[in-house]
């Protein structure tokens, strides 16, 4: 090799060597600055996204050190409480959302370990009309109510998983639905029993379909439960004097509007409004007017329960605008603990709290408390709403027409429902729950309140 070539080779090697040094230094900067920042920066203690308290720094003891618990807990604490955790989580979800192709934003998350369905129905149908001893009856006198066989009520067994998975289609996530006839009959029995025991009450049945009733992709049509059919079935079982709010057909007229949340399993407050509007018209009550009676507020860039709790990571690409309607009229609100039945919070002219994700839960503290709303109306009508989370959002609109509203979560209320209705002078009872409750194992909550 001549001198010039040797010189060139030597310079080239130096150049390569210099590049390597620079790259190594960059790595060391990242590593060391990461190490320092993760020590210096404040660590979060609660994850709003995951709705849990994050790991706590473990206390040192020799025994926990010897068992290896201290070091494992320390490592877990370090990994669990990374500063700006939510930001990094959303960024990584966004990146990983590009791992596939989704035509029409069609994503599937259907567990492969589901038991086979349709679920096996009990061969003994649940009766839907009560006898004085609660054991069931023969064919009723009322018309439009099918005959039933004499049999004791069989408890609903959670013999299948109602939630058949989650699909996302055209940027909307929804749960796939299947309903149990036995559960629907149990629901009807509960309302019919209430009617039998308290015929003076106005009883309302609001069976709320979920988004998959309207927005399933064409390829899945007919493969799962039909919520329209199931709603009609429930309606056919109810005593004719029970007021049925046909939410399915009301919302069907508005499917082009934002009546369901896209990233949350609940309906939107607009959908709630339409359902309540229908109920108020039926009951000759004051019908709420969105423009006159409410202030419309909205917030962009929100992600609901499907992203936060159901781990549908791709939804990070489709945040939605959440709109809610705050009443302009006056009222007082009191919130009771389900454990002590004592007031723990009060509010004046405000029903919306927790302005953070998931926004659906912001009204009346979600499922947390039994709520009592007292308005300035003087109609003599007092309403008790027995609900699941789909019924949370009704109160702001119902408050337009009723003097008082009690919002009771049928899953958490432990008292005597009949005594409650008597004590509070209730004139109207509304059962407001989604089809997963009315046609699933959770219908037993209605039975526990009104039949047992």
Partner 1 sequence: MNFANLFFIYAFLPAVLLLYYVIPNIHYRNGVLLLASLVFYAWGSPVMLLLLLAVCVVNYFLGRGIGKAPGEKKGKVCLVIGLILNIGLLFGYKYLAFFLDTISLIPGLHVSVCKFAMPLGLSFFTFRIISYLLDVYWEKVKAERSFPLFLLFVSLFPCTVAGPIVRYQTIGESLRVRRASWSDLYVGFMRLSVGLGKKVILADHLYGITEYYFSGNLRSLTVTEAWFALLVYALYVYFDFSGYSDMAIGIARMFGFRFEENFRYPFVCTTISEFWQRWHISLGSFFRDYLLYVPIFGKMRIYGGLFLVWFSTGLWHGASWNYVIWGLYFGLFILLETKIGKKRMKKIPKLIRHFYTKIVIILGFGIFYFTDLGRMGTFFKSLFGLSGNQFVDTFSSTYMMNNLILVLLGLICIFPWVPFFQKKLEKRSWTLGIAQCVCGILLLALFVFASIILVNSTNQPFLYTQF
Quote the least distance from Cβ 217 to partner 1, whole Å. Answer: 8
Between helices 227-237 and 181-197, what is the axis angle to 10°?
Answer: 30
- Identity of the residue, 12 or 131, whose beta carbon is nearer to partner 1 in the bound complex: 12
Quote the least distance from Cβ 428 to partner 1, whole Å. Answer: 24
Quote the least distance from Cβ 230 to partner 1, whole Å. Answer: 17
Contacts with 400 (C-beta within 8 Å, 6 or more apart), sequence order: 280, 285, 286, 287, 288, 293, 327, 329, 375, 377
Structure tokens at 360: 């659906």
- Identity of the residue, 329 or 338, whose beta carbon is nearer to partner 1 in the bound complex: 338
- Identity of the residue, 51 or 350, whose beta carbon is nearer to partner 1 in the bound complex: 51
- Identity of the residue, 91 or 418, whose beta carbon is nearer to partner 1 in the bound complex: 91
State the distance between the two ends of the chain, measured CA to CA, in whole angstroms.
100
> What's the rounded Cα separation, in Å, for the pair 433 and 389?
7
- Identity of the residue, 9 or 321, whose beta carbon is nearer to partner 1 in the bound complex: 9
Q: Report the DSSP pairing between strands 428-434 and 382-387.
A: parallel
Quote the least distance from Cβ 23 to partner 1, whole Å. Answer: 3
- Identity of the residue, 266 or 372, whose beta carbon is nearer to partner 1 in the bound complex: 266
What residues pair up with 346 in beta bridges, in sequence order?
334
Under 8 Å between Cβ of 225 and 209:
no
Quote the least distance from Cβ 280 to partner 1, whole Å. Answer: 25
- Identity of the residue, 38 or 157, whose beta carbon is nearer to partner 1 in the bound complex: 38
Quote the least distance from Cβ 352 to partner 1, whole Å. Answer: 20
Give me the DSSP letters along 312-363. Answer: -GGGGG--EEEEEEEE-S-EEEEEE-TTT--EEEEEES--B---SSSGGGGB
Quote the least distance from Cβ 170 to partner 1, whole Å. Answer: 13
Quote the least distance from Cβ 82 to partner 1, whole Å. Answer: 5
Quote the least distance from Cβ 440 to partner 1, whole Å. Answer: 11
Quote the least distance from Cβ 80 to partner 1, whole Å. Answer: 4
- Identity of the residue, 164 or 205, whose beta carbon is nearer to partner 1 in the bound complex: 164
Quote the least distance from Cβ 21 to partner 1, whole Å. Answer: 5
> What's the rounded Cα separation, in Å, for the pair 115 and 113?
6
Q: In the β-sheet with 166-169, what is the strand arrangement from edge to edge?
A: 107-109, 166-169, 172-175
Q: Catalogue the E-assigned strands of 85-127.
A: 107-109
DSSP code of 373? Answer: E
Give me the DSSP letters along 354-405. Answer: --SSSGGGGBTTTTSSEEEEEES--SS-EEEEEE-GGGGGGHHHHTTT-SEE
What residues pair up with 107 in beta bridges, in sequence order?
168
* Alpha carbon of residue 431 to chain centroid: 17
- Identity of the residue, 26 or 139, whose beta carbon is nearer to partner 1 in the bound complex: 26
Residue 170's region, left for phi above 0, alpha for psi from -120 to 50, else beta, is left
- Identity of the residue, 238 or 261, whose beta carbon is nearer to partner 1 in the bound complex: 261
Under 8 Å between Cβ of 117 and 160:
yes
């Amino acid at each position: 090799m001549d001198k010039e070539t040797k010189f060139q080779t030597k310079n080239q090697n130096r150049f390569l060597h210099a590049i390597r040094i620079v790259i190594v230094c960059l790595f060391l900067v990242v590593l060391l600055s990461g190490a320092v920042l993760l020590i210096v920066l404040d660590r979060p203690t609660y994850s709003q996204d995951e709705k849990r308290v994050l790991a706590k720094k473990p206390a040192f003891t020799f025994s926990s050190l010897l068992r290896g618990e201290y070091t494992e807990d320390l490592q877990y604490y370090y990994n669990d409480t990374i500063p700006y955790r939510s930001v990094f989580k959303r960024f990584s979800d966004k990146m990983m959302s590009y791992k596939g192709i989704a035509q029409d934003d069609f994503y599937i998350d259907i567990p492969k370990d589901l038991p086979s369905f349709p679920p096996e129905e009990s061969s003994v149908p649940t009766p839907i009309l009560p006898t004085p001893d609660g054991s069931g009856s023969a064919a009723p006198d009322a018309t439009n109510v099918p005959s039933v066989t004499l049999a004791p009520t069989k408890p609903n067994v959670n013999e299948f998983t109602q939630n058949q998975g989650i699909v996302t289609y055209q940027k909307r996530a929804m749960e796939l639905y299947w309903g149990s006839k036995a559960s629907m009959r149990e629901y009807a029995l509960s309302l019919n029993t209430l009617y039998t025991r308290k015929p003076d009450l106005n009883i309302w049945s609001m069976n709320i379909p979920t988004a998959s009733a309207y927005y399933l992709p064409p390829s899945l049509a007919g493969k799962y439960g039909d919520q329209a059919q199931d709603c009609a079935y429930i309606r056919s079982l109810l005593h004719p004097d029970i007021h049925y709010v046909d939410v399915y057909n009301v919302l069907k007229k508005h499917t082009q509007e934002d009546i369901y949340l896209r990233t949350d399993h609940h309906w939107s407050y607009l959908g709630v409004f339409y359902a309540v509007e229908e109920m108020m018209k039926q009951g000759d009550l004051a019908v709420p007017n969105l423009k006159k009676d409410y202030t419309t507020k909205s917030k962009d860039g929100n992600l609901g329960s499907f992203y936060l709790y159901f781990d549908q990571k791709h939804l990070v690409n489709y945040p939605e605008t959440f709109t809610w309607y705050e009443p302009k009229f006056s009222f007082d609100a009191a919130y009771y603990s389900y454990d002590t039945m004592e007031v723990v919070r009060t509010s004046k002219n405000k029903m919306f709290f927790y302005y953070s994700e998931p926004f659906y839960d912001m009204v009346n503290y979600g499922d947390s408390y039994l709520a009592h709303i007292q308005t300035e109306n003087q109609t003599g009508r007092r309403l008790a709403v027995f609900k699941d989370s789909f019924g949370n959002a009704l109160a702001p609109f119902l408050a337009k027409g009723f003097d008082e509203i009690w919002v009771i979560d049928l899953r958490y209320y432990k008292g005597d429902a009949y005594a409650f209705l008597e004590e509070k002078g209730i004139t109207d009872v509304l059962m407001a729950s989604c089809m997963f409750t009315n046609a699933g194992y959770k219908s037993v909550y209605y039975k526990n309140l009104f039949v047992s």
